[in-house]
Amino acid sequence: MRLKIATTAFFLTGLALLALWPWLVGPRPPEGAPRPELAKYARRMSLYVVGTLTSFTLAAICALLIVRKVRLEFRDRSRENFEELIESTLRDHGRK
């Protein structure tokens, strides 16, 4: 359950970052802006991109862990069902 919550939280955070980028990054400095101002904007934009990519990457990793867990549970349950089928078949043949 924690993995599902984490996956949802990371995904929604990524969506929120995408939706709010104009307010988080701000407008691009004008063409003749001083170099420190351009560097500040570049730093903000870089942090935004890294944060967004990190959020979606963590959501994907959590989703892969969920898939792995479900696949293992399915495999175990399939094996149990097969064993039950074999045992019940042997019991049925023993009665005849």
Q: For the whole model, what pTM was predicted?
A: 0.80
- Lowest mean pLDDT of 7-11, 14-18, 64-68, 88-92, name the range: 88-92
Longest dimension (CA), the chain: 94
pLDDT in tens, 45-96: 999 999 999 999 999 999 999 999 999 999 999 999 999 999 888 888 876 6
Question: What's the pLDDT score for residue 91?
Answer: 85
Q: Rounded to whole angstroms, what are the CA distances from 71 to 8, 26, 66, 83?
A: 20, 44, 9, 18
Question: What's the pLDDT score for residue 90?
Answer: 87
By the 8 A CB rule, do 7 and 59 touch?
yes
Is 92 or 32 the better-scoring residue by pLDDT? 32
Q: Where does residue 26 fall: left (phi above 0), alpha (psi -120 to 50 degrees), or beta otherwise?
A: left
